[in-house]
Amino acid sequence: TTLAAQLGSRREASWIVDHAGPDQAQALADRRSAGEPLQYVLGRWPFRSLDLKVDPRVLVPRPETEQVVDVALRELAGAHHRRRAVAVPGGLEANVGPICVDLGTGSGDIALSMAAEGGGRSPGLAVWATDVSDDALAVARENREALAGVDAGAAARVRVALGSWFDALPGEILGRVDLVVSNPPYVAESEFPGLDLSVRAWEPRVALVAADGAGGIGGLAAIEAIIDGALPWLSHSGAMVIEIAPTQAEPSMAAAHRAGFGQVGVERDLSGRLRTLVARRSS
């Protein structure tokens, strides 16, 4: 009751006590009262079927990104099906499993979810999880190791690579990727001061804020970099799924059309906001 009064939330107090036990609960409650996100205080947070380690090296996993994974799973299956449908029988394209690339993986939430949920639907699936941050990849590796204890097959599907966007990928998968998926930085510099204090003070700024896009659209630079670099890596039937801010829907679609994607659209999240750019190479 005392913790609930301190936090202003009986639910959060219950989570903290269940997680830490009564002896450590007060220290965690003090951290939470100081503004630290509950996810970092607990050190773990659920994301779809996963129980992820999270700390200030990576973003807090959000429900909007869980929905992005829904779209990504659908597009991965569709791209792989289209590729196999036009492949020469018995050829490499007909027999090789699908390849998914998660750019800017952070905690590994998207990549590990794709591996855990997509592997059963897509035999032979390989997932590449990339990030420019060594710290973020350390968290992703820890989460992959934790997944291995629950689903060794899913964890084995994930390869982790350090580097900026496509620079992290090996040349042998050039032109063979069925899906590029990403939750990149997309907050504009001008929007950052208006974010909740817990976000500004605790979450990694580099994973949140992006420079203006080529047309001066706030926060669009990382999205444009992924769009502009994707086509050479994708198979002829490949697709791209990117989490965006609702205000970036039109310029993101325009960028995908300019880059040469045949089918481009944006899907809404559960709140009805435009959230997920979907672009397919084939028309």
Strands 50-53 and 187-188: unpaired
Model confidence at 72: pLDDT above 80: yes
Angle between helices 109-118 and 63-86 (to 10 degrees): 50
pLDDT for res 95: 61
pLDDT for res 22: 78
Once rounded to an integer, what is the mean pLDDT over residues 122-127?
Answer: 91
Phi, psi of 132 (to 5 degrees): -85, -10
Model confidence at 2: pLDDT above 60: yes
Residue 283: pLDDT band (50, 70, 90) is: low
Name the residue with higher pLDDT: 29 or 65: 65
Residue 20: pLDDT band (50, 70, 90) is: confident
Strands 177-182 and 99-103: parallel
Instruction: Quickly count: other Cβ atoms within 10 Å of residue 187's Cβ.
Output: 18
Residue 129: pLDDT band (50, 70, 90) is: very high
Whole-number Å distance between alpha carbons of 208 and 83: 34
At 236 the three-state DSSP class reads: strand
pLDDT for res 226: 98
Once rounded to an integer, what is the mean pLDDT over residues 153-175?
Answer: 97
pLDDT for res 89: 62
Chain centre distance of CA 185 = 10
Q: pLDDT tens digits for 87-112?
A: 656 555 556 789 999 999 999 999 99
Distances (CA, A) of 164 to 103, 168, 184, 202, 219: 8, 6, 11, 23, 17
Whole-number Å distance between alpha carbons of 257 and 264: 7
Residue 176: pLDDT band (50, 70, 90) is: very high
Model confidence at 134: pLDDT above 70: yes
pLDDT for res 7: 79
Q: pLDDT tens digits for 196-225?
A: 999 999 999 999 999 999 889 999 999 999
Residue 131: pLDDT band (50, 70, 90) is: very high
Whole-number Å distance between alpha carbons of 175 and 62: 31
pLDDT for res 23: 79
Whole-number Å distance between alpha carbons of 190 and 192: 6
Q: Are 279 and 71 in contact (CB under 8 A)?
A: no
Provide the mean pLDDT of the chain: 92
Q: Are 113 and 48 in contact (CB under 8 A)?
A: yes
> Any residues with CB less than 8 A from the CB of 106 and at least 6 apart, and which?
58, 59, 131, 136, 139, 140, 183, 207
pLDDT for res 16: 86
